[in-house]
Amino acid sequence: MESLVNQDTLVKFYKDKKVFVTGHTGFKGAWFITWLRFLGAEIKGYALPPESPESIYNIIAPHVVHASVNADVRDKEKLQKEIIDFGPDFIFHFAAQALVRRSYNIPAKTFDVNVVGTANVLESLISLQHKCTTIVITTDKVYENKEEQNPFIETDRLGGHDPYSASKACTEIVVQSFSKSFFNKDKFEDHQKTIASARAGNVIGGGDWNKDRIIPDIVKHLKDGKKIPVRNPNAVRPWQHVLEPLGGYLLVAGILHENKNLSRSYNFGPEIEDHLKVKELVKIAIDCWESGEWLDVSDADQPHEAGVLKLDINLAKKDLNWQPKLDSKLAIKWTIDWYRQKKVNLYDFTLQQIKNYQSL
């Protein structure tokens, strides 16, 4: 099966189209607008400023033509005015409080940003007077996880132990509600709106400097010549390079724009045999760096994080002809290669990885 995530297919979907992206200043958002601009899209981003001066957005922004609005998705009037004024063909909603451990410190804010922010985006579609396709980005952690080793399918029960996971499960319910209440596919000719949610596995890639993420921790300690602290070495996760789910988002939105019947949720992750333990990811990263050591710092009193999380991606394969292009070892290698580049080369290297990925 040849993947449809390629230059010819995606250019047909996005060239000269208006695309509104929330959270464009984040790790995934910055990669995404770089790719969109390469495809010839007109982009308007809406997000808070980057948290760190070393953010990948600060690296790519001077090279990627786009309008950028610094504002909060909880500001409903501002958000909806920006969307309506722009008149997008596509909306991709990335903006979120996206860190599990941080959600324990700011639980109410996590729910506010993730749930209310999503409702604000979707409410704006009611006033939009033309055809528009919206993809809401959630997470692999939306499922009620009893850690039974079985990979989750899209119809499995939603849940969430920590505030972040629970907030994203609530977000999925918001998406379902708007899809049924305002944008029912049986009345598509009246409203011209389609919505899908995308549940991605644990994303890695160059330019992620978020606190409490495994790759930034690895890189910082390797650069300093220190042992890498690993909290949950035996935890199993669906690791994937950032370009894998982003390609999935681009593909599902493009297809959904022409086929309202695919308005549903999709998992994007690695093949089932390619899920790795945290310690396996760390060892591969050390091999790619060609030096380094790690240290188990597990603590029984630390906030709960699931020990096993696996995704079933067969629906995306069947409906979208999507499949992962990079196995876990290549995903880690591409990630470490990015961090080893000189700062002046990082935008060009980012764009080259996008080109290389499309050509696989």
The pLDDT of residue 299 is 72
At 231, is the pLDDT very low, low, confident or very high (cuts 50, 70, 90)? confident
At 304, is the pLDDT very low, low, confident or very high (cuts 50, 70, 90)? low
Lowest mean pLDDT among 21-35, 64-78, 138-152, 317-331: 138-152
Lowest mean pLDDT among 31-40, 49-58, 300-309: 300-309
Superfamily of domain 7-359: NAD(P)-binding Rossmann-like Domain (3.40.50.720)
Lowest mean pLDDT among 33-42, 80-89, 119-128, 141-150: 141-150
The pLDDT of residue 3 is 80
The pLDDT of residue 305 is 63
- Asked whether the predicted pLDDT for residue 34 surpasses 80, the reply is yes
- Asked whether the predicted pLDDT for residue 274 surpasses 70, the reply is yes
Mean pLDDT across 207-231: 90
- Dihedral sign (CA 15, 21, 24, 29): negative
**Percent of the chain at pLDDT exceeding 70:** 98
- Asked whether the predicted pLDDT for residue 293 surpasses 90, the reply is yes
The pLDDT of residue 51 is 85
- Asked whether the predicted pLDDT for residue 306 surpasses 80, the reply is no
The pLDDT of residue 101 is 86
The pLDDT of residue 300 is 64
**Percent of the chain at pLDDT exceeding 90:** 83
Average pLDDT, the chain: 93
At 232, is the pLDDT very low, low, confident or very high (cuts 50, 70, 90)? confident
pLDDT tens profile 38-86: 999 999 999 999 988 889 999 999 999 999 999 999 999 999 999 999 9
- Asked whether the predicted pLDDT for residue 1 surpasses 70, the reply is no
- Asked whether the predicted pLDDT for residue 148 surpasses 90, the reply is no
The pLDDT of residue 301 is 65
> Would you list the domain boundaries of the chain?
7-359
- Asked whether the predicted pLDDT for residue 211 surpasses 90, the reply is no
